[in-house]
Amino acid sequence: MTTIDRQRSHIGLPRASTALRGTLLTVATLLTTAVGPVDADVVTANIPVHNWPYQVVITPDGARAYVSSRNSVQVIDTATNVVTETFLDGESPEGIAITPDGGRAYIATDEDHVRVIDTGTNTVIETIAVGDWPLGVALTPSGDFAYVTNFNDDTVSVIDTDTNTVVETVDVGDRPRVVAVNPNGDSAYVANMGGQVSVIDTATNEVTTNVPVGDEPLGVAVTPNGDYAYVTNTGQVSVIDTATNEVTATIGDVRYSREVTFTPDGARAYITTDQHRVRVIDTRTNTVAGSIPLENSPGHAAITPDGTHAYITNQSSRGPVSVVAIEAEVETPPALTGTPPVGFANEPYHYAFTVTGNPAPIVHVTDGVLPYGVTLSEQGVLSGTPPIPATYNFTLTAFQFDGSGDPAVLEVSVEIKDKPSVPWGSFTGS
């Protein structure tokens, strides 16, 4: 029997995981994910607001939520969940963005302008003319510029927030609805209902690419670390890698998706849908982790800076704004255990190590070599068909993608034997 000892190797952490499948010799695996128990997320309050609430945003200090509706903007005190002010009566406000210092709000209205609000007094201090039917507003992380989608013009207006004037008008795709700015401020992602996401270079205010996505995208948001943009389409969510601006994943089990927002740690994406529920996505696996039922069809969601509550508009003549308590996650360090069974040459082999931890660890070979013909998934699953009998020694390391917790190391030995021969005369027959 040949023994294959460890050889020095170094495996870097990829940005996305790849799962591998196998057959035979299946052993159960325990794999926790970065998403906590979604079923524990419950509606704790329903706040009456004006009819047909649209967007909700939360101030940087988490103290207030601003809600646009068909004919006003209302302010909710998040400590008491009571509406404390109403302004822009008689107008039809749409998207809202609040400056990083919390001092001003930029609110698009269907009268083809953006209202600039002093949030200390909730009064209009400037009115800025933009394009035809502005819908979405997003600010750069510095607060220096506001990007406004103009639905009927197929353009985006760029506002200098120092002078409150439009300094650029950018041609984008068909029917731009929502815009999101990357956390590093270098790109703006515009969801066009024509089926594309236009990527704007904020340094030049030029479109660098148009990314094809699903049918009629309604929402777009960028993960807190800036690595991915999630786009809600009819029946699915497209995930764009912001380094390449290509769709790298599609989440299919999200019918009638509308808008998307993330928890501050980026572990969860909350997708509002036209099915009286919010779908919750585990962003590491890009799978639906659960759903939260609501009274009506949710339109938009915003999560408090501390990640403890989500405020969700219900799009109906009765509202309301639902408040969801988000179950806190308990971080646990990686753990990796398991003793693979003996395998046989030229026979399918499958074994799953027990991998635990929160956020969910990923597993790599950090020393030695796997049996020839066998691969290891990031979830800790060996699979393949080894052709060469030998004993293979290698080291596995499980570590969390966000760098938290000490890695777990496991020394492994896998023996692959020759396939046993069938003794002469052992066959059956008539």
Residue pLDDT, tens place only, 284-316: 889 888 899 988 889 999 999 999 999 999 988
Dist. CA 30–CA 357, nearest whole Å = 10
- For 92-105, what is the HEC assignment? CEEEEEECCCCCEE
Q: Are strands 390-400 and 73-77 parallel, antiparallel or unpaired?
A: unpaired
Compute the average pLDDT of residues 188-209: 98
Dist. CA 75–CA 84, nearest whole Å = 6
Q: Is the pLDDT of residue 422 over 70?
A: no
Q: Give the tokens for residue 363.
A: 């597993």
Dist. CA 34–CA 362, nearest whole Å = 11
Q: Are 47 and 323 in contact (CB under 8 A)?
A: yes
Q: Which residue has the higher pLDDT, 6 or 74?
A: 74
Task: Give per-residue pLDDT as tens, 74-97.
Answer: 999 999 999 999 999 999 999 999
- If pLDDT is split at 50, 70 and 90, which confidence band does 283 have? very high
Task: Give per-residue pLDDT as tens, 218-248.
Answer: 999 999 999 999 999 988 999 999 999 999 9
Angle at 128 between CA 126 and CA 132, to 5 degrees: 150
- The region of weakest confidence among 51-60, 89-98, 400-409, 419-428 is 419-428
Q: Are 179 and 190 in contact (CB under 8 A)?
A: yes
Q: By CB neighbour count within 10 A (0-12 exposed, 13-18 middle, 19+ buried), where does 332 fall?
A: middle
20: left (phi over 0), alpha (psi -120 to 50) or beta: beta
Q: Which residue has the higher pLDDT, 33 or 96?
A: 96
- If pLDDT is split at 50, 70 and 90, which confidence band does 11 have? very low
Task: Work out the percent of the chain whose per-residue pLDDT is above 70.
Answer: 87
Dist. CA 206–CA 117, nearest whole Å = 28
- If pLDDT is split at 50, 70 and 90, which confidence band does 2 have? low
- The region of weakest confidence among 167-171, 359-363, 408-412, 418-422 is 418-422
Dist. CA 404–CA 34, nearest whole Å = 12
Question: Has this prediction a pTM greater than 0.85?
Answer: no
Helix, strand, coil % in the chain, rounded to nearest 5? 0, 50, 50
Q: Are 175 and 192 in contact (CB under 8 A)?
A: yes
Dist. CA 172–CA 197, nearest whole Å = 9
- pLDDT for the residue numbered 424: 62
50: nearest Cα among 79, 72, 81: 72
Domains recognised in the chain with CATH numbers: 3-34+331-417 (2.60.40.10), 38-325 (2.130.10.10)
- pLDDT for the residue numbered 24: 29
